[in-house]
Chain A
């Protein structure tokens, strides 16, 4: 069975052929398909090949139908393995999912980072993400006091 293919071009000049049905999980691409401007391929100036490969991998997995049936539990397990990435890659995936408007990938990537924040002390959070502490000790103590009520 032949399915319509479209070509996605990364910022660093690589081309990827993808089934249209898979690619339109990206609302951005879906709109371009509707507007019929995909004949020469779609240039994605904001997404480099290393990240585009991962995005396409995600979209292929999530293109669930009779030919590719998969349970939610299995998808969740797959998500975990898929997100076992370097921090910078995760952030780049967030940017790509946002730019390409793929809601489920955006939720997954943001939630992954949120889970890295949950349960950590401020020092641990700063260390994990290389964030500078711009509070003076007095300011930090004041913030802690103000939020003393907050369920920890």
Chain B
């Protein structure tokens, strides 16, 4: 009897499917019922070796969540992009998007400023709507959020919110599906940047502003530790931003799943990657410095937004932020060494909140006993 795919033991079929990249998920699941079922308990792409620079993630274009695949090839067509609006979010106007451990957390606006918080596992097709804490939560969109998990065995995923009205902090636990007030505080001179916290190894990192004296401030980095449920010490940055008062742009991003990258644009655009990053400790190495003024044909007005570091190709992909002059409709740039740059477009509006995506089997279902299903390891 010859061995075929159909006669191979299921456990070995699972090993094969684990080595197929996530970009083939739809075809793989549409092949037959056995494969579809298998993919729900064994992560497709979990053991795939990345052959070429392929980045997958989600972005907000306007108020729509889109999936994005970016392939950085060598040669003339340096970048291949594929952007698709995610139909599961049709009817929702999304204003913020976060990713952590294969879960997407987003804030959506339904009708009449009625904001909803949602957590989704796209891979498992599960969604959890987070209950409003009080009757009138129309301010939800103006709060600062962070998404992470603690170091317990089953990883309790949590959402931190800084209530912009009361100034207090509260934390939501996915496991217990409940909110609680958090007794933490920041020094008066430290202000959280409302948008763009990033999740790394379960903890969240915020841009913050430290006011030195009236009219003088500088950027810093701050970590919220979801295990301790407290903020860490102010973390230093590898660039000088004292006194720039908003002229400089700072953006943070993740590199793979174990390091942070920071972008600072003022006269030049610099990217640094952490060599060590913990809630109370960080050290940096420089990755790239670009003098935008010397780039031939580069637009006069460009404000850097989210970015992706590709260490293998030694380039950085930077999405432009929306500006008043609106010159950056959906433009993105790739910067390399020795003044190399190229541009490409992503949709009609500047993409925001790009988050890279790594699928997981974290379930959002609450079983009958009221406990969240344990995560499959």
Contacts and interface: CB of A to CB of B under 8 A. Distances in A.
A130 B5 CA distance: 8
B165 to A, nearest CB: 34
Contacts of B4: 87-88, 91, 129-130
B22 interface: yes
B24 interface: yes
Interface string A124-141: 011001111111000010
Contacts of B28: 117, 125
A91 B84 contact: no
Contact of B24 (A91, A117, A131): A117
B6 to A, nearest CB: 6
Nearest to B1: A88
B19 A144 contact: no
A91 B6 CA distance: 11
Contacts of A126: 31-32
B127 to A, nearest CB: 12
B301 interface: no
Interface centre among A106, A110, A120 (most CB of B within 10 A): A110
Contacts of B122: 149-150
Contacts of A152: 23-24, 26-27, 69, 82
B248 to A, nearest CB: 34
A121 B5 contact: no
A144 B69 CA distance: 18
A143 interface: yes
B5 to A, nearest CB: 4
Contacts of A144: 26, 30
A118 B30 contact: no
A150 B8 contact: no
A114 B26 contact: no
A98 B12 CA distance: 9
Contact of B32 (A111, A113, A120, A133): A133
Contacts of A77: none
B43 to A, nearest CB: 13
A113 to B, nearest CB: 5
Contacts of B67: 149-151
A119 B23 CA distance: 8
A91 B27 contact: no
B27 A148 contact: no
Main secondary structure of the interface of B (DSSP, over half): mixed
Nearest to A124: B27
* Chain A interface SS verdict (over half): helix
A148 B32 contact: no
B242 interface: no
A33 interface: no
A87 B2 CA distance: 10
A132 B32 CA distance: 7
Nearest to A148: B87
Given A111-B49, A152-B26, A88 B3 contact: yes
Interface in B195-240: none
A10 to B, nearest CB: 16
- Give chain B's interface residue range (CB within 8 Å of chain A): 35 or more
Contacts of A74: none
A150 B23 contact: yes
A68 interface: no
Contacts of B150: none
Contacts of A133: 31-32
B358 to A, nearest CB: 12
Nearest to A95: B3
A4 interface: no
B88 interface: yes
A122 B32 CA distance: 8
B30 A135 contact: yes
A1 B325 CA distance: 78
A120 B19 CA distance: 15
Contact of A148 (B2, B3, B36, B84): B84
Contacts of B21: 118
A97 to B, nearest CB: 10
Contacts of A118: 20-21, 23-24
Contact of B8 (A91, A107, A148): A91
A136 to B, nearest CB: 11
B17 interface: yes
B357 to A, nearest CB: 8
Q: Most A CB atoms within 10 A — which of B5, B8, B82, B84?
A: B5
A117 B22 contact: no
A54 B25 CA distance: 32
A134 B37 CA distance: 12
21 contacts: A87-B4, A92-B3, A94-B8, A95-B3, A113-B16, A114-B19, A117-B27, A118-B21, A118-B24, A120-B24, A122-B27, A126-B32, A129-B5, A133-B32, A135-B30, A143-B36, A147-B29, A151-B23, A151-B25, A151-B82, A151-B84
